[in-house]
């Protein structure tokens, strides 16, 4: 069953895929961090970034390509504060495909909002009710550009599975109805340019498709 998503805040999670953390290599062991993260690393995709399926992602002037961050989103159904991992998914209304678009940048721990929070930088697919999807921790994800599959990943590679991630975050901040918690992007996210069309598919959730257009082409 598909239904629209009430717009709240989208919270992204960094380095929650094993391969994404592994791709950093020894960089996580040098200053200023000196060790892999011991808690979830979050950032915000504000309401201005939300985009409907089929609407155009705007490539800013001076930017040649955008990074396409395919991930699963947990849509919060009721106020989640200090929830137990065993009960965490009962706070989830359902799941969505999230395209966590960003301007390619080198900083993993402290990404600037100007790279990740531009208008149109977060297409989100229709809500699929929680009971209509199997385990959120065993979903295959693929990215196609102009119809050709260029990237594959799976939520099975999460360091913190969905329930654990939600529980840990709710220990220090309250998630509200309509908020979306994306579980994290795998390594080697593909890139796309203006004039191309991106499709993200997650089994059980369908496909989220959006074209990319150049900012200078907007009247």
Average pLDDT over residues 115-127: 93
Q: Which is nearest to 188 in space by CA: 136, 152, 147, 140?
A: 152
Checking if the pLDDT of 54 tops 60, the result is yes
If one counts every other C-beta atom within 10 angstroms of the C-beta of residue 56, the result is: 17
Average pLDDT over residues 59-72: 96
- pLDDT of res. 3: 44
Average pLDDT over residues 122-128: 93
Question: Which CATH number applies to 2-25+35-217?
Answer: 3.90.850.10
Tell me the chain's radius of gyration from C-alpha atoms: 16
Q: Which is nearest to 98 in space by CA: 123, 118, 132?
A: 123
Give the tens place of pLDDT for each residue, 164-217.
Answer: 999 999 999 999 999 999 999 999 999 999 999 999 999 999 999 999 999 986
Average pLDDT over residues 16-31: 79
Which residues have a Cβ under 8 Å from the Cβ of 103 and sit 6 or more positions away?
A: 60, 63, 66, 67, 114, 115, 116, 118
- The pTM of this model reads 0.91
Average pLDDT over residues 33-46: 84
Checking if the pLDDT of 44 tops 80, the result is yes
- pLDDT of res. 114: 81
- pLDDT of res. 1: 34
């Amino acid at each position: 069953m598909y239904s629209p998503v009430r717009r709240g805040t989208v919270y992204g999670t960094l380095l929650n895929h094993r391969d994404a953390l592994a791709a950093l290599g020894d960089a996580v062991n040098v200053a200023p961090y000196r060790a892999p993260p011991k808690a979830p690393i979050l950032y915000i995709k504000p309401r201005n970034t939300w985009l409907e399926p089929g609407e155009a992602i705007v490539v800013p002037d001076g930017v040649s390509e955008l990074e396409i961050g395919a991930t699963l989103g947990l849509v919060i159904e009721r106020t989640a504060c200090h929830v137990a991992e065993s009960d965490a998914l009962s706070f989830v209304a359902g799941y969505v495909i999230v395209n966590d678009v960003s301007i390619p940048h080198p900083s993993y721990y402290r990404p600037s909002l100007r790279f990740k929070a531009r208008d149109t930088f977060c297409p989100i697919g229709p809500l699929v009710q929680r009971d209509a999807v199997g385990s959120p921790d065993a979903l295959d994800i693929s990215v196609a550009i102009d119809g050709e599959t260029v990237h594959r990943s799976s939520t099975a590679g999460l360091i913190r599975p969905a329930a654990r991630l939600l529980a840990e975050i709710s220990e220090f901040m309250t998630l509200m109805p309509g908020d979306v918690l994306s579980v994290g992007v795998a390594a080697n996210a593909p890139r796309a340019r203006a004039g191309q069309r991106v499709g993200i598919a997650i089994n059980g959730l369908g496909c989220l498709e959006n074209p990319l257009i150049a900012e200078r082409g907007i009247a």
